[in-house]
Structure 1
Amino acid sequence: MKKMSLPTVSDYCLLEKIGTGSYATVYKAFKKDKSREIVAIKCVDKGTLSKSAIDNLLTEIKLLNVLKHEHIVEMKDFFWDEGNIYIVMEYCDGGDLSSFIKRKHKLPENICRRFLQQLALALRYLRDHNVCHMDLKPQNLLLMRKPQLVLKVGDFGFAQYLSNSEHKFAIRGSPLYMAPEMLLKHKYDARVDLWSVGVIMYECLFGKAPYSSSSFQELAEKIKDCRPIEIPKAAHVSMTCKDLLMALLKHNPSDRITYDEFFAHDFLDLEHAPAKENYDKAAALVHKAVEADADKNAKEAFYLYCEALRYFIPILINENDLKRKEILRHRVNDYIRRAETLKVAFRDDNDEKHPSSENKGNTSHLQRTPSLERSSAFAYNELRCLSKSTSGMTDALEIGEAAEQYLAEGSYALALEKFQSCLGILVSLLGKEPLGRRRDLLHKQVQIWMKEAESTKGLLATKDIDSSPRTTDEQCILQ
């Protein structure tokens, strides 16, 4: 390629320095044409480049030329002159995730989930292209503030083409976020990025990395000793959040969550990520809910509305067009109100069928649960009687009853936690249960509570719409 055919630095006006690295300086700039497009320009001093730095830079340019994804910082151009190499990138006006965490001290779980969803979408794209980033850390996760706060993966200086079966030995990345197998100079593969995601997730939730240390030596000792990673005592995180965090932060890569398991994890819920096809799914579910509602099937209509909300709410939060957003917000609020009304309707219906202990002297504990139908009430009562011979089953059933009570009261986070807790026990017991009446009853109850847990997730998602206080520059992600 001839130098004269390339653009020159005079095509841009540098405005201010926004970052520095070991061999590069990053400037905010704008293009000197009618567009006046704002960009970030990474200026690399040729004179400071070692052979490995040149290799890294060439790999970064090659990768960024190929990788095009909404959650990966886009390379718009590159060129050079006598002293420097210039990489023109899209400008991310929200700074980086590290600065965002420092300003907020720690992030609410729903905001952490949203950032992790976006990081996971980028990683899924990278895995599809056999690319391993090798240097995931909050400083390399950039934020776009307008039209809404969006996370983008940047700095591919250490990235490599690396499949799950290939192994490497060279140390790459930043020690605090580096997987144990890499830090200890063992062979490693693409799973190193998953450890880094775990450290980033921990820092988002608690404001510091799990192995924060004053020196590299201290960090290495903690890693080498496999020091247990603990959740801060004052912190509260949901069971699914903790499950993902601990699955990512496994010292032995063989024990660590796989990429497929990571992308499928309930905490991320990528299945309901905002997308055109998911809008169509949500609309179809609402249509079915309206039909069930017209047929006086309150419970089925409730389940369908809740399932639709799990698709609609991420789309609402992600919508950029203010007019469309307001229309969708009104529709979603209508669906939320109808779901709540239906929940009360079938609860009251069941209360009529099963009077509370205040009105009837010898009723069972079962009759205080809000959402069991007459036919399943007798079956459930039989299951409780049959469960007494098995350690843990009776306790798990009582946890499930508490979950239903919390659901009826609108305490969705507690309801979901209880549903997940009881199902974790009952599903395990079901797998060991021999064929017979008790197994049939237990299977039926597990199915009921699984459906109610899914509905609870739909209602809990409604809290994301306005659960966090807004600031001027971050309100878009918190709407």
Structure 2
Amino acid sequence: MTTQLNKSKGENMGLPTLNDYLILEKIGTGSYATVHRAVRKGGNREVVAIKCVDSTILSKSAIDNLLTEINLLQILKHNNIVEMKDFFWHEGRIYIVMEYCDGGDLSSFIKRKSQLPETICRKFLQQLALALRYLRSHDVCHLDLKPQNLLLTRKPVLTLKVGDFGFAQYLSTSESKFTMCGSPLYMAPEILLRREYDARVDLWSVGVIMYECLFGKAPYSSSSLEELVEKIKSCKTIEIPKGCSVSPECKNLLMSLLKHDPNERLSFDDFFAHEFLDLAHAPTEENHEKAIALIQSAVKADTEGDIEEAFHLYSEALRYFIPQLTNEADHDRRKHLRVRVNEYINRAEKLKAMCMAGNSGKLESSGRKELLQGTSFGYQELRILSKSTTDMASALEMGEVGEQYLAEGNYDLALEKLRACLGILVPLINKEPPGRRRELLNQQIEIWLTQAESIKGLLATRAVDDSPKESKHLQDQCVLQ
């Protein structure tokens, strides 16, 4: 990597120089660097951001950090990471040419709105999580995650991008460091208290950013560093501000990230798999292919008369298609996709009504015919066998209520009841001895798990109506910095 950097010192080798750019305006100033908006001369006159660093006033460690940042940015290429396009050295200054983010940073975005709705917070966190998942795949730890370092672009759609890798290092969850780095307000307790730490410090920072998005301020906002340290030392309980409310999934993620003890903090794998983020259905090319495959399977099942299977497949496909639709910037493609999605929604609703009415069609798919035909009698037998276990009996009643809400189209309450009953039944089956009751209970859990997943697909369809308004709201709140 050192050789690669040294090559960029020569200005007579066809490499970029400051003369290749037209400087337009200064857009940022730091202790040893300034950032300018500029236009590349010739060609498509691309707008870029140029970070100018005065290397003559930097310490050796600061120069090392800068070179590490450049080397990392040469490697890291992801839609949610600010791209480095060029770099060059001239007369004691280092110039880093970056992708220009026309939406400013997340800090300014939050200040304009005071606090962000949970839906918008989820969008930003999902994009941040995608970037972090990519960084973890390269064993890179950012070490300075904060709203000021999360930049926004408005075209083709509003997108969050992680920037400023000045403190970033190669660091896994099994390696440890002691070096003090980052911004105190977003710094994990183990760094602030000068203890050994690993890559999990980034997760604490994500928790603070999430808190600030939702409530407009950091959880340990303080008037001085000493006050901040004292709050951290005392492990002061982090609470949701009075008068504010968030969904159970949102609160669970927030509080799981903001654990003072890194061993109790959410792991990266659990963070990426968390229900609130739903990365599994994020608008990526890979997930678009999954959606198409699911629709093909749904149409096949529908054609064969297996309406139960077709309903679940359509519902699951919608969980992939809706984020794709809300994220599509091209007007024509969006219009075409909206027509297709509306068709899938309508068909899923019709199939659901047929399922609820007991019209099971031909039901010729392997295993499902027997499962559905045995549901009524098997369920009644399970109810009788569960009478001796109060928790199980109560959970089965909740499940019945959930199915009734589903039949009525009240998806929120249906999902709430099914989640509640499954939250009781799943742990119970792990303790259940082999036998008829375990067999019936396992069968019923599978049915309700599938129904819960289908309801999530139907709930996701709300975004079809909400997305244009929300998209405009996001754009209106985002201003040039």
Aligned pair in 2 of structure 1 residues 264, 326: CA closer, same or farther (>3 Å)? same
Deviation string for 1:314-360 (max 9, x for gaps)? 22223333212211110001101111122122223379xxxxxxxxx
Instruction: State percent identity of aligned pairs.
Output: 67
Higher relative contact order (CA 8 A, sep 6+): 2
Deviation at 1:40, TM superposition (A): 0.6
Where in structure 1 do 4 or more consecutive aligned residues deviate above 6 Å? Answer: none
Asked whether the equivalents of residues 113 and 477 of structure 2 are also in contact (C-alpha less than 8 Å), the reply is no
Deviation string for 1:219-242 (max 9, x for gaps)? 212211122222335333333322
Q: How does 1:56-205 map to 2 (within 5 A)?
A: 56-205=65-214
Asked whether the equivalents of residues 110 and 464 of structure 1 are also in contact (C-alpha less than 8 Å), the reply is no
SS in 1 for 2:229: helix
1:20 aligned residue (16, 20, 29): 29
TM-score (norm 1): 0.89
Aligned pair in 2 of structure 1 residues 224, 407: CA closer, same or farther (>3 Å)? farther
Q: Distance in 2 between matches of 1:230 and 1:398?
A: 34
Deviation string for 1:291-313 (max 9, x for gaps)? 33234333222111001111212
Q: Which residue identity is paired with 1:325?
A: R
Aligned twin of 1:38: 47
Deviation string for 1:106-145 (max 9, x for gaps)? 3233322222222122112111211100001111111110
Q: Which residue identity is paired with 1:429?
A: L
Aligned pair in 2 of structure 1 residues 381, 207: CA closer, same or farther (>3 Å)? farther
SS in 1 for 2:254: helix
Asked whether the equivalents of residues 157 and 329 of structure 2 are also in contact (C-alpha less than 8 Å), the reply is yes
Q: Distance in 2 between matches of 1:396 and 1:384?
A: 10
SS in 1 for 2:203: helix
Aligned-CA RMSD value: 2.4
Say yes or no: does 1:275 pair with 2:284.
Answer: yes
Deviation at 1:373, TM superposition (A): 5.9
Q: Distance in 1 between matches of 2:288 and 2:456?
A: 18
Deviation at 1:163, TM superposition (A): 1.8
Q: Distance in 2 between matches of 1:15 and 1:423?
A: 59
Structure 2 unaligned spans of 5+ = 1-6, 361-370
Aligned twin of 1:438: 437
Q: How does 1:383-422 map to 2 (within 5 A)?
A: 383-422=382-421
Q: How does 1:178-327 map to 2 (within 5 A)?
A: 178-327=187-336
Corresponding residue pairs, total? 458
Q: Distance in 2 between matches of 1:257 and 1:223?
A: 18
Q: Distance in 2 between matches of 1:102 and 1:413?
A: 32
SS in 2 for 1:230: coil
Structure 1 unaligned spans of 5+ = 352-371
Q: Which residue identity is paired with 1:149?
A: L
Deviation at 1:443, TM superposition (A): 1.2
Deviation at 1:375, TM superposition (A): 3.5
Deviation string for 1:59-80 (max 9, x for gaps)? 1111111111111101111123
Aligned pair in 2 of structure 1 residues 467, 319: CA closer, same or farther (>3 Å)? closer
Aligned pair in 2 of structure 1 residues 268, 77: CA closer, same or farther (>3 Å)? same
Aligned pair in 2 of structure 1 residues 111, 403: CA closer, same or farther (>3 Å)? farther
Q: Distance in 2 between matches of 1:207 and 1:26?
A: 27
Q: Distance in 2 between matches of 1:477 and 1:406?
A: 37
Aligned twin of 1:474: 474
Aligned twin of 1:367: none
Deviation string for 1:162-199 (max 9, x for gaps)? 12211001111111111111111110001111111122
